[in-house]
A and B are shown apart, each in its own frame.
Chain A
Amino acid sequence: MTSKKDLVGQEAPPAHLIVRGIDKSFGGLQALREADFEVARGEVMALVGDNGAGKSTLMKVLAGAYSADAGSFFLDGNSVSIKSPNDASDLGIQIVYQDLALCENLDVAANLSLGAEPVKAGWSFLPHFLRPIDNLEMESKANKAIKRLQVRTLHSVRAKVSGLSGGQRQAIAIARAVGTESSVVMLDEPTAALGVAQTYQVLQVVKRLRDTNHAVVYISHNMQDIFDVSDRITVLRHGQNVATYITSKTTPDEVVMAMTKGIDKNSSGSIQNAI
């Protein structure tokens, strides 16, 4: 899989995760039609499209939450199958859902280790779920995760999530996805409900993910955010690929046009691969 097709111009690395020809229908409604998608390590791939274009569906297919009716998956060139959320997380693919699904009654550290709490050594006579949690280890891990993403406004990993701002919660949800040995992190409209300052904070975190060599998939409606943070933009329309643009070589107008009307086949040269 190192044909020309997998390369993004000259500057981009080969894609890490590639999917081809994804079909997905819900009853009579075909949400995805022969959709192709790829993302490389160290890049932010934006996924845009009008409401109902199939963005969330594509992301859930990649995360194993939905299984595709047809299509093939490649990770670093090897064919893989993603049939369940466990398959996806075993492959290092993590999703940050639109509803963050944090436990507000627990603190940041507990949320970051939820379901995988470190336990103290030397209690092996007890079943795992009754061994004492190593709180200090858990906090150290949380501190590291927070530091890695440079969530500066968070003062303590022992703060309850109920007391955090929207941006901080988003950052925690991202940190949780990243914390578990992931190579692909997918974010579904992470800034939809946030104000300017909070959005800025989340975009910083997304950039940090790219800098730490993750493959980031970023769904958003906000052109300004997308042009701020992404390296490439994949446009979906009615469940089909319209085009993939290199962000630095296109304009918001062009992308919006592609989202709403599809593309004019003989337009500018910024399109990387039109259908």
Chain B
Amino acid sequence: MQSEKKITFLDRLRTMRETEFGAFLPVLFALAAIWGYFGFILPLHDLITGEAESFRAIFLSPRNIYNLFMQSAVIAALAVGITVVLLLGEIDLSAAATAGVCAALLGVLVLSGVPGFFACLIVIFVGIIMGAAQGLLVAYVGIPSFVVTLAGLLGYQGLMQKILPTGNLNVGDPFVRSIARLLIPDMWGLFLALVVFILFALTTVRKQLQRKEKGLELDNKLTVWFQIIVFGIILISAVLTLNAYRSLPLLLVLLIAFTALLDWITKSTPYGRSLFAVGGNSESARRVGMKIKRIRVSAFAIVGLMAAIGGIFGASRYGSVSYTAFAGGSLLLEAIGAAVIGGTSLFGGRGSVWNAILGALVIGSLGNGLDLSGASAADKLMVSGAILLLAVAIDALSRNSAGGR
């Protein structure tokens, strides 16, 4: 019944981004392009022009990849949380400051003799409260989230300075340090990856069989296998690369586990569906009886949770907590950038926490690659800005073509 329309490039883009797997492709391409540039084209260029004696494959070396993953982990943890509020069409500018407060508190707690494990639990609880408090202001008082979290950003930055008057604190607690230091033995890491891969393949195939049994429309066979194979290749090669330098660090396993859990919650549960519904059309959500205010509060609580986890990751990796590494630095913008570059819409209702991880890798790779090639901090800022703008432009364009009929 629809009139014949020319299928434009934008239409294609939109259709692609609407499938679950298709939403990954732009950010995967971006990542591949960045890796190809820094890992292959740039060294080749240097070799041909005689700037380097040999092909310098530093960027794609296992050691650098390992560092890249670890560097991106804190950004990723925050980006995953921010994605959840972006789904609602809200924003959280206080995530990095929350992470800073949590990390500082963690440092102070373990210094005063609280066991590392309990300190982590306390800090996670505090993070959740800090997020939920802002959510309450957004949902029940009706202040725009931009304003609430901007105030939160300032307030929490101040709070962090109060907790850390010197702006710096070493964290030596063995439990906290072990999160980043503990390595899963090579064989176990590979085994874990294989198990995850097999589970993924089995559930995908089983879903397809159940669809057939119930007479429901089937997914494209090619897409299904492509999906399974791409997933397998990425997973196994990531673990092999990490093994080639050290091993799979516990920190990454934890990050992936939290992300997988949040992905499941947002995609497969009534609660997650309500996040998407509120982000897509809150009036519609209200009419079917969803408790919109509580949903808003909970989403901000999730950002607080992930910010606390990011703070713990950071403290564990650096072995110290500093004001500039969290609240005062570029972490917030990198995390929001990561979520958006991953393809989560700033307009609400579309996105995925996995994409935030990939977005964080894009941001991390850019910084890392530019560092290696000797670019200045100024170059880094400008390139990051351009990439972010590009991602938001793609988001806006694919949204316009959806609404403009």
Assess the B265–A130 pair: CB atoms within 8 A.
yes
Assess the A133–B279 pair: CB atoms within 8 A.
no
Assess the A103–B277 pair: CB atoms within 8 A.
yes
Known: A156-B217, A160-B18. A104 touches B270 (CB 8 A): no
Assess the A106–B277 pair: CB atoms within 8 A.
yes
Check: A223 CB closer than 8 A to any chain B CB: no
Q: Write the B303-315 contact mask toward A (1 if CB under 8 angstroms, else 0).
A: 0000000000000
Check: B54 CB closer than 8 A to any chain A CB: no
Check: B379 CB closer than 8 A to any chain A CB: no
Assess the A143–B1 pair: CB atoms within 8 A.
no
Check: B285 CB closer than 8 A to any chain A CB: yes
Q: Write the B127-144 contact mask toward A (1 if CB under 8 angstroms, else 0).
A: 000000000000000000
A residues in contact with B402, CB < 8 Å: 104, 162-163
Assess the B276–A106 pair: CB atoms within 8 A.
yes
Which chain A residue has the least Cβ–Cβ distance from B288?
A115
Q: Write the A150-168 contact mask toward B (1 if CB under 8 angstroms, else 0).
A: 0001001110101101011
CB contact list, A176-216 vs B, under 8 A? 197-198, 201
Assess the A133–B273 pair: CB atoms within 8 A.
yes
Check: A139 CB closer than 8 A to any chain B CB: yes
Interchain CA distance A115-B278 in the complex, whole Å: 11
Residue of B2, B217, B285 touching A165 (CB-CB under 8 A): B2
Q: Write the B256-283 contact mask toward A (1 if CB under 8 angstroms, else 0).
A: 0000000011001111011011011101
Assess the B276–A158 pair: CB atoms within 8 A.
no
A residues in contact with B170, CB < 8 Å: none
CB contact list, A239-273 vs B, under 8 A? none
Known: A101-B287, A140-B216. A132 touches B279 (CB 8 A): no
Which chain B residue has the least Cβ–Cβ distance from A115?
B288
Which chain A residue has the least Cβ–Cβ distance from B291?
A129
Known: A110-B273, A133-B269. A103 touches B211 (CB 8 A): no
A residues in contact with B279, CB < 8 Å: 105
Check: B290 CB closer than 8 A to any chain A CB: yes
Assess the B284–A117 pair: CB atoms within 8 A.
no
Known: A140-B214, A163-B402. A132 touches B269 (CB 8 A): yes
Known: A101-B283, A103-B284. A158 touches B273 (CB 8 A): no
For chain B, the bracket of interface size reads 20 to 34
Interchain CA distance A106-B20 in the complex, whole Å: 12
CB contact list, A100-129 vs B, under 8 A? 101-106, 110, 114-117, 119, 128-129
Interchain CA distance A132-B265 in the complex, whole Å: 8
Check: B39 CB closer than 8 A to any chain A CB: no
Residue of B211, B214, B349 touching A105 (CB-CB under 8 A): B349
Assess the A136–B216 pair: CB atoms within 8 A.
yes
Interchain CA distance A97-B284 in the complex, whole Å: 10
Pair count A-B, CB < 8 A: 97
Assess the B18–A114 pair: CB atoms within 8 A.
no
Q: Give the residue among B279, B281, B350 with the most A Cβ atoms within 10 A.
A: B281
B residues in contact with A114, CB < 8 Å: 273, 277, 284-285, 288
Check: B403 CB closer than 8 A to any chain A CB: yes
Check: A131 CB closer than 8 A to any chain B CB: yes
Known: A162-B403, A167-B1. A132 touches B268 (CB 8 A): yes
Known: A103-B285, A103-B349, A140-B216. A130 touches B271 (CB 8 A): yes
A residues in contact with B214, CB < 8 Å: 136, 139-140
Which chain A residue has the least Cβ–Cβ distance from B264?
A132
Least CB distance, A40 to chain B, in whole angstroms: 27
Assess the A129–B270 pair: CB atoms within 8 A.
yes
Check: B113 CB closer than 8 A to any chain A CB: no
Known: A105-B280, A165-B1. A129 touches B403 (CB 8 A): no
Assess the B265–A139 pair: CB atoms within 8 A.
no
Known: A101-B281, A102-B284, A114-B277. A139 touches B1 (CB 8 A): no
Check: B324 CB closer than 8 A to any chain A CB: no
Give residues in A with beta carbon < 8 Å to B: 85-86, 97, 99, 101-106, 110, 114-117, 119, 128-133, 135-136, 139-140, 143, 153, 156-158, 160, 162-163, 165, 167-168, 197-198, 201
Besides A115-B289, A129-B271, 20 other CB < 8 A contacts?
A85-B287, A103-B349, A105-B279, A105-B280, A105-B281, A105-B350, A114-B273, A114-B277, A115-B274, A116-B288, A119-B270, A129-B274, A131-B269, A136-B214, A136-B216, A156-B217, A157-B217, A167-B1, A168-B1, A197-B1
Q: Can you list 30 A-B contacts with CB-CB less than 8 angstroms, sorted by A residue number?
A: A102-B281, A102-B284, A103-B281, A103-B284, A104-B403, A105-B281, A105-B350, A106-B273, A114-B284, A114-B285, A115-B285, A115-B290, A116-B288, A119-B270, A129-B274, A130-B269, A131-B269, A132-B264, A132-B268, A132-B269, A133-B269, A136-B216, A139-B216, A140-B214, A157-B217, A162-B18, A162-B403, A163-B18, A168-B1, A197-B1
Q: Which 6 A-B pairs have the closest CB atoms?
A: A115-B288, A105-B349, A103-B280, A105-B280, A101-B284, A129-B271
